[in-house]
Amino acid sequence: MTGPPDQTNIDYSALAQTIKSMGKSFGFNQVGISDIDLSEHEDYLQQWLDKQYHGDMEYMARHGMMRARPQELHPGTVRVISVRMDYLPEDAHFSAALSDDNKAYISRYALGRDYHKLIRKRLKQFGDAIQVHCESLNFRPFVDSAPVLERPLAAKAGLGWVGKHSLLLNEQAGSWFFLGELLVNIPLPTDVPVQEQCQSCTACMKICPTDAIVAPYVVDSRRCISYLTIELKDAIPEALRPMMGNRIYGCDDCQLVCPWNQYAVPTPETDFQIRNGLSDVNLLTLFAWNETTFQNNLAGSAIYRIGFERWLRNIAVALGNACYSAEIVAALKAKREGVSEMVKEHIDWAIAQQVEKSQSQTTNPNALTVKLIHATEKIMKQ
């Protein structure tokens, strides 16, 4: 990329307005522009890395301070065009999935098609369209795929403010949206950041099942269910497994409790709508999939990238956390053969959890529903 073009005849203020209007034609709900000075975030980033809060995401440490220096990622960059694309699907079935421990809970951003390719393609088209108005424009699109501090950049661009759960919040969309960036070499006028509006609210910190939000704006990824179910490639720490409940891919708890999300509206984007009934599906149904079924059903989904092994690992933990069921125990035992040692470890843990629950249920029947009492009595007689 070259430096800022010498085009004194370009009205960059008018171009900025054109860019923001143009963004809507590519499906972006909001467009903002920021400079590239993230120096105030470098100390925080280094401290976060020093505390090993990135866990096994070694790429976070490998790129170091480049995350706070866009011009190093793409030389010649002087501005960042940040975009917001809302993703909340219709009929997300939040309460139904979380209140029934036999159901699988999948983070709502992953119910449709993988956003990476969709937004990157739109950003490329967006950049090409801008180039029609400014031939010397040089740009590079990013969507959660490069060492960029996208939330601080989006906050500087006026798209929202960073909440205490570390996600970006917007008055109209809450936090149910994706972010993307165009790094550009033209000196567009920048937008004004919005004021943080979380005030004294700590609902997101209190609700986190694993206490991963260790301080306002600070998340220890090693405890975060999204990290455990998506990023972590090895065994999930045993102490954290019971806290995961039925969450098999990601976690939305900190978003669900946030007051600002009451203002979010469902997205019209068809690619973000629910596929394969994943918003309301039984754990045992998913656990019964073989690898071919997994690949066929989840091709084009963000879930696909964790692979079949971690998919089974996550579901096994959720089955261990479910109320005792002879059907669950049978399914776990049947799946135990032909899987990796890591998956087998989680299946064994789940079986042990189920056995423990069956024993506690027979000794404390007052804590059971009639249905569970009958089920327990039936299995104990066999």
- CATH number of the domain residue 261 falls in: 3.40.109
Q: How far is Cα 87 from Cα 269, in angstroms, rounded to an integer? A: 7
Residues of the chain above pLDDT 70, percent: 92
In a domain, 318, yes or no: no
In a domain, 54, yes or no: yes
> Amino acid identity, residue 277?
G
In a domain, 299, yes or no: no
Confidence of residue 379 (pLDDT cuts 50, 70, 90): very low
Q: How far is Cα 182 from Cα 196, in angstroms, rounded to an integer? A: 24
Mean pLDDT of 121-132: 97
In a domain, 9, yes or no: yes
Query: Strand locations in the chain, DSSP E?
Result: 30-34, 79-86, 105-106, 139-142, 161-162, 168-169, 177-184, 213-215, 218-219, 247-249
Q: Which residue has the higher pLDDT, 368 or 173?
A: 173
| Tens-place pLDDT, residues 128-167 | 999 999 988 999 999 987 788 999 999 999 999 999 999 9
In a domain, 165, yes or no: yes
CB 136 within 8 A of CB 7: yes
Catalytic machinery residues: 144
In a domain, 319, yes or no: no
Pairing, β 105-106 against β 247-249: parallel
Burial of residue 155 (CB within 10 Å: 0-12, 13-18, 19+) is buried
Q: How far is Cα 255 from Cα 170, in angstroms, rounded to an integer? A: 12
In a domain, 287, yes or no: no
Mean pLDDT of 158-181: 97
pTM of the model: 0.89
Look at the chain and report how many structural domains it folds into.
1
Return the pLDDT at 148: 87
Domain that holds residue 58: 1-93+106-217+252-276
| Tens-place pLDDT, residues 212-260 | 999 999 999 999 999 999 999 999 999 999 999 999 999 999 999 999 9
Return the pLDDT at 361: 66
Return the pLDDT at 37: 95
Return the pLDDT at 90: 87
Is 90 exceeded by the pLDDT of residue 289?
Answer: yes
Phi, psi dihedral angles at 167 (to 5 degrees): -90, 160
Tell me the CA end-to-end span of the chain in Å, nearest whole number: 72
Mean pLDDT of 322-334: 97
In a domain, 342, yes or no: no
